[in-house]
Chain A
């Protein structure tokens, strides 16, 4: 049996999405910037696709910039806003557990003379509000805190954080890449100035990201030299990608409640079965403020990479934040930020479900996981 439980890394594209995208490779191939009829036809399709996304996010279509990835969108927003608003100050705040594509640009800005502070999280991955409050100063231009974490699935109270940040006069960005469709993403209701999404996390195409930007805020382009996207991101539009993104997002939010209810039930069933069958298992992250599709579990006494390789051999795909799985041999900084006892840092495995996950797959996984854990523990020196 083949079981894919790595949906936080990426998801399988929906067939409908793939089919729609296909149209734009061979039939409707014109450049939407061309003024002839063929171009206009494609342009109209792109506008329609953007309108659909705008509606879901309660934004204006002209506030949406499609990019080559969420990584690009995060780079664009963070560098673009900070560099364009030097008159407002030179300080930014990001959380300790942001994705590398937020931490990376923040580090780059340090080299340019900006100051960065890292907002800490508690043992379950929630932002420590009072510490965040103390960090914000008159000099703070931008605060970036992710909606939900990719490793541990912890969800932040974005509305509350945005309110706090906005009150100080700073701008607020949230990386909501992992949140679709688990949370409603109404940018007005959330009160965010900037928000990032990535199509491949919700059964859309890889290589298509989106930046929601409040156009009244100054921002520098990352890629300049063309008038596309209001000159904020040069380059011929990725028509198929934008249409695919839009379709995937539309499908993701269709019957959302029912869909996430099913995923939550399966996830909770899986956790219950794992705990019933395996001793000394612990949940990392938050039990309540948690993405419905995420489980990050610690198996005491054995190493995450070994569990992953053993499961992989049985056709099961999972992921781990253990040092041994990383190219640089460093334990996940997200788990470290939770201040987990260092003896336990390398014993964690992430299981991430999707709407395609079935009960039979989870039953199989529990069975194999039980064998794997028993086997590895049988010769572990740590009892």
Chain B
């Protein structure tokens, strides 16, 4: 499998970041970075990572199915993660979640037909002080109102 030179450089750094014989420790970051580049974790990627860190594909599968931020299916270009954990729940996170689902017509870990936006209901993202919070890819949005949510989703739709 071939990756971009930047990703290859990251992999090379990762593989030397752990004590000798512990290369398998690089598995999770490798999967995360590769997912960003490819869009999802494909079977080919599973096998490639397994080979590079010296484990069986089954062992990658174990990790993959454990962590919810690793995705087998392609996500949208914009992955909208809405927190419904306690602080956000108390401040309207649940309503944001329902509203987003209704507006886009998709559910948990689903993507719009054009592949532009995907949704995920997540646990605490560490932004309780600014609840309700959500995350679009790696960007945070704090104290989100229903109107702001609408605007945000519209803007994500438009930027083709």
A and B from one assembly? Answer: no
